[in-house]
Amino acid sequence: MKLNIAIDGPSASGKSTIAKALAKRLNYTHLDTGAMYRACAYKALKNGINTDIEDDLVKMVNSSHFAFDDLGQILLDGVNISSDIRSKEIDLLTSKIARYAQVRASLVKIQQFMAKNKGYILDGRDIGTVVLPDAEVKIFQTASIESRAKRRLLDYQNKGIKIDYQTIYNEIELRDYQDQNREHSPLRKTDNAFVLDTSNLSINESVDIVYDLVIKKINEGSD
Ligand code: DC
């Protein structure tokens, strides 16, 4: 028996890392919905689409093809763009695009279609609330801003990018505010979500906790 799993939480809380590891352990499919929003920002930028005009963005989304390869990397119109969507410019533009209700509605429809069968792990901001309100397991993954900023700093250092801790800290704080206070589908924990605070947990410890929850749920279902 397979379930659907929703993982929501603020930026840089490690949702994708946990979702990816969990998908491997459970033999489930991981859909990184943040990567889909990022792909839209990337395509708009590349094709000179005016991101102030929501209708144009909606047309663009509805004529795009989104898929994920076996490694969980995003394919936009058949092209792997996973290394092109992680930049500060894309971070900011994505945050702007993600505020549009009709853009969200189009992406939500695509995500629901992709995950219409069981055995999917979706991570994002609105998965438990809007995309998969019926998901059998809902996780609200969070961590202190300090621990998220430290992890992000390490990511940047490993990529050879020079940036200081305070800049990262401020950016995370700003994105938290934007995600939680936007008009459409703000980041919210549902009442039935399990809160996973990873501030003091390793990746393996976090994955173990969610894995145990999923197995418990599967066993309950087969009783
Ligand atoms: O998780 P991430 O940092 O890759 O997300 C990128 C942006 O997309 C971020 O501004 C939040 C937004 N997003 C969203 O609004 N809804 C989702 N389901 C996933 C991401």
The pLDDT of residue 223 is: 63
What's residue 116's pLDDT? 93
pLDDT at residue 92 in the model: 86
pLDDT digits 0-9 by tens, 34-86: 999 999 999 999 999 999 999 999 999 999 999 999 888 999 999 999 999 98
User: Closest Cα to atom 10, ligand 1: which residue?
Assistant: 95
pLDDT of residue 178: 86
The residue assigned the tokens 């994955």 is 207
Joined together, the tokens standing for residue 80 give: 């792997």
Which residue's CA is the nearest one to ligand 1's atom 13?
34
The pLDDT of residue 24: 95
**pTM score, whole prediction:** 0.93
Measured CA to CA, the distance from residue 145 to residue 165 in angstroms comes to 11
Largest CA distance in the chain: 55
Residues with CB under 6 A from ligand 1: 11, 33-34, 37-38, 94-95, 98, 124-126, 179
Report the nearest atom of ligand 1 relative to the CA of 38.
6
User: Ligand 1 mean position to 99 CA, how many Å?
Assistant: 10
8 Å CB contact between 5 and 134? no
The Cβ-side half-sphere exposure at 177, using a 13 Å CA radius, reads: 6
Instruction: Kindly give the number of the ligand 1 atom that is closest to the alpha carbon of 37.
Output: 8
pLDDT recorded at residue 156: 87
CA distance 73 to 180: 27
Atom of ligand 1 nearest to the CA of 111: 18
Distance of CA 117 from the midpoint of ligand 1 (Å): 23
Q: Within the chain, which residues score under 50 in pLDDT?
A: none
